[in-house]
Amino acid sequence: MQIKENKKTDRIGVALKKEGPLLSIYFTAGYPHLEDTLPVLRELQKNGVDMIEIGLPFSDPLADGPTIQESSMAALKNGMTTHRLFDQLRDVRSEIHLPLILMGYFNPVLQFGVEAFCEKCREVGIDGLILPDLPLEIYQKQYRAIFEKYGLKMVFLITPQTSEARIRTIDRTSDAFIYMVSTASTTGAQQGFDPAAEDYFKRVSEMNLKNPQIVGFGISNAQTFGQATKHAKGAIIGSAFIKTLTAHGLSGISSFIKSVRP
Amino acid sequence: MENYHADSDGFYGEFGGAFIPEMLYPNVDELKSRYVEIMESPEFQKEFHQLLREYVGRPTPLYFARRLSEKYGARIYLKREDLCHTGAHKVNNTIGQILMARKLGKKRIIAETGAGQHGVATATVCALMGLPCIVYMGEVDIARQAPNVARMKLLGAEVRPARSGSRTLKDATNEAIRDWINNPEDTHYIIGSVVGPHPYPDMVARFQAVISEEIQKQLLEKEGRDAPDYVIACVGGGSNAAGAYYHYLDRPEVGIIAVEAAGKGISTGESAATSALGTVGIIHGSKTLLMQTTDGQITEPYSISAGLDYPGIGPMHAHLFTSGRGEFHSVTDQQAMEAGKELAALEGIIPAIETAHAFAVLKQRTFNPEDILVFNLSGRGDKDLQTYIEHFNL
Ligand SMILES: Cc1ncc(COP(=O)(O)O)c(C=O)c1O
């Protein structure tokens, strides 16, 4: 057993307290090749990102745009499964010290067994979870106690359409960060944010929430990263990073990260 | 007594609910908080029933099938949903939902379709109301259902190919949901069956409940009793079945029989018999029975009938199955085709291949001569002529 110091270190909290805008990268586990999960993590750590979201591939990712749909399909074809991912991550904490968040759809977690899944997460050193189709109300009623028992932080999404009252409920229920979906959309890179999006980032930042906000969906380069982090603590890049992996493989990671945050 | 209707969070026993990403929350929540009040308002009811009467052609007849009854030794009635405008029960739901969309102030309609029946029914009501209509349809289905694609286009709808995944109904549904995420303000999503997040299964079931409401009245006239011994329907997502069962769900003396598509056979790997092959999970925002791997990846169903080619069933049906309230059968392609041919020969009615599955149950179990059976004849077979031609070398 190697629970080690994991339970005590609040890696997400530490990363959020660092000065300057936080850069988080999402990638699909087992993509482009089945055994790339760890090499991608290493490369991201070496290039100074602050946090990583590991995507659990799902056959029907209905909140995702074409890029993540395709990387998920490819990962599944490569043979990626939840069990496989936990095997790959068995010794991850011997070399990766960044906060690690698993992001995926709820059905594979349900099939693994919610408690068994949480236990595995703690065992390998996962810090938090993003399960976009596990809604707040059902989480509170049925699952919160289990996730908390294993010290896992649950991250919830808000969108430009989320009411202020609901944002406050989400803020009370979380103790990591709030995932601020940039625009009403599925995942995918955008050219830039319109003034309405910036107004929304600003509006939420002025709500004095206890949780910092991290913007995701549509961040692709230094410009969108800058726009997003003007009002929010950080930003998450997913599709644009996966496109880099598709085009250049792991050797493209370093220059991509430098181009976003020189 | 067990309750077979949805509770206020949309659960039928352990099944149902709304497992949706936050991006869908405002739209689904708006619908959830308003659908009952809107549907039950006298104004809505008046308009809904007027359109069902004058546009759809309701009430549809309850027809005593004399020759079929003689052959199988039971009193068999057919509820003629095949005589609805557009050729199937699907239009009962789309009429209801288009009125709902209008009450909610929506200006743009999206839908998914497999065989194209629900797409045609949606395109039809959009033409009727002058609303733009986008129908997502798997690329594979577009190729095999060309006449319905043409009908939708003629009705003014845009048919968008779903190119993700396996490019069939499941993927068309994913694409429609993605469209809704990307258009959160002005769009209403008309789901075609009793599937998807709450309140869809309950709302669609309530619109389809006009079927059992009529059966009650018609049977009373013909038999002096308002309930049959058995109501029998095919189940894809489960909307025609939900409509036929609706007023009988809480009457245990009425047997509920559901027929699923076994495709090439339950154990061939090419099947859509969800109750036999499915396990509990989440598909399209609903906790229900679905066909999936042990890793939780949704698998591809197969059936000769595109309308039954769905890897899940609605949460109402999952509950009917696990509680034992419903008796579930599965019928192969071959058995369904034979049953369709038999209905044509004995009663002069060519059923949709979906519907033909229900009739094959007559060969799978016996009934008493005095039993009254109502089959929901969910659709007509015009759209399936090519499949009949190929299957029987006509
Ligand atoms: C005639 C007919 N019956 C049945 C179905 C299956 O759907 P459901 O189970 O929702 O009634 C379809 C679907 O296309 C259909 O066209």
Per-residue pLDDT reduced to its tens digit, B330-350: 999 999 999 999 999 999 999
Domain presence at residue B8: no
Q: Which of residues 178-237 of A touch B (CB under 8 A)?
A: 181, 184-186
Helix (H, G, I), strand (E, B) or coil at B35: helix
* Chain B neighbors of A106, CB-CB under 8 A: 19, 282
For residue A171, give the 3-state DSSP assignment: helix
- C-alpha dihedral (B311, B314, B315, B318), degrees to nearest 10: -60
Omega of the bond leading into B59 within 30 degrees of 0 (cis): yes
Q: pLDDT for B191-235, tens place per residue?
A: 999 999 999 999 999 999 999 999 999 999 999 999 999 999 999
Q: What is the pLDDT of residues A211-236, one digit of tens each?
A: 999 999 999 999 999 999 999 999 99
Compute the distance between CA of residue A157 and CA of residue A135 in angstroms, rounded to an integer: 9
Q: Is residue B115 part of a domain?
A: yes
Which pLDDT value is given to residue A5? 45
d(CA B294, CA B315): 20
In a domain, B80, yes or no: yes
* Average per-residue pLDDT for chain B: 97
User: Is A69 part of the contact surface with chain B (CB cutoff 8 Å)?
Assistant: yes
Q: Do B318 and B181 sit in the same domain of this protein?
A: no
Check pocket membership of B379 for ligand 1, CB cut-off 6 A: yes
Cis peptide before B26 (omega within 30 of 0): no
> Does residue A4 surpass a pLDDT of 50?
no
Task: Judge if B287 and B195 occupy the same domain.
Answer: no
Predicted confidence band of residue A184 (pLDDT cuts 50, 70, 90): confident
Q: Is A236 helix (H, G, I), strand (E, B) or coil?
A: strand
* pLDDT above 90 (res B316): yes
- Together in a domain, B217 and B171: no
Tokens standing for residue B201: 């299964």
Same domain, B321 and B356: yes
CB contact under 8 A, A58 and B296: yes
pLDDT over threshold 50, residue B158: yes
CA B349 to chain centre: 20
Instruction: Judge whether B383 lies within some domain.
Output: yes
- CB atoms under 10 Å from CB of A188, counted, come to 19
Nearest to B261 by CA among B281, B238, B245: B238
Average pLDDT over residues A179-195: 86
Residue A252's φ and ψ, nearest 5 degrees, are -85, -10
Separation between Cα atoms, residue B245 and residue B256, nearest integer Å: 7
Assigned domain for B121 exists:
yes
CB of A60 less than 8 A from some CB of B? yes
DSSP A90: T
Q: CATH number of the domain that B247 lies in? A: 3.40.50.1100
Which of A64, A70, A127, A171 does the annotation list as catalytic?
A: A64
pLDDT band at A189 (very low <50, low <70, confident <90, very high): low
Q: Is B307 in the pocket of ligand 1 (CB under 6 A)?
A: yes
Q: In whole angstroms, give the CA distance from residue A65 to residue A71.
A: 10
Regarding predicted confidence, which is higher, B167 or B99?
A: B99
The partner residue sitting opposite A58, judged by closest CB among B20, B177, B297, is B297
Q: Average per-residue pLDDT in chain A?
A: 95
Q: What is the mean pLDDT of residues B179-201?
A: 96
pLDDT, one tens digit per residue, over A151-167 is 999 999 999 999 999 99
Burial of A81 by CB count in 10 Å (0-12 exposed, 13-18 middle, 19+ buried)?
Answer: buried
Q: State yes or no: pLDDT of B132 exceeds 90.
A: yes
pLDDT of residue A8: 65
Contact A109 B282 (CB under 8 A): no
Last residue of a domain, one of B177, B203, B229: B203
Q: Is the pLDDT of residue B157 over 60?
A: yes
**Closest ligand 1 atom, residue B115 Cα:** 14
| pLDDT on residue A192 | 81
B9 lies in some domain: no
Quote the pLDDT of residue B341. 98
Do the Cβ atoms of A100 and A129 come closer than 8 Å? Answer: no
Q: Are residues B243 and B374 in the same domain?
A: yes
The boundaries of the domain holding residue B118 are 23-51+89-203
Digit-coded pLDDT (tens) for B342-392: 999 999 999 999 999 999 999 999 999 999 999 999 999 999 999 999 999
Measured in angstroms, how far is the CA atom of residue A60 from the centroid of ligand 1? 22
Q: pLDDT tens digits for B59-76?
A: 999 999 999 999 999 999
Look up A206 and say whether it is catalytic.
Answer: no
Q: What is the mean pLDDT of residues B305-314?
A: 94
Domain closes at, from B203, B225, B244: B203
Ligand 1 contact via B351 beta carbon (within 6 Å): no
Domain residue ranges in chain A = 2-155+234-260
pLDDT for position A108: 98
Is B253 in the same domain as B285? yes
Same domain as B199, residue B143: yes
Q: State whether B189 and B244 are in the same domain.
A: no
Q: Under an 8 A CB cutoff, do B298 and A59 touch?
A: yes
Q: How far is A108 from chain B (nearest CA, A)?
A: 4
Local confidence band at B93 (pLDDT 50, 70, 90 cut-offs)? very high
At the fourth CATH level, which superfamily is domain A2-155+234-260?
Aldolase class I (3.20.20.70)
Distance A142 CA to ligand 1 centre (A): 34
| Alpha-helix runs per DSSP H in B130-238 | 139-144, 146-154, 169-182, 200-208, 210-223
In angstroms, the CA A93 to CA B322 distance is: 43
For chain B, the domain total comes to 2
The residue from B203, B218, B239 where one domain ends is B203
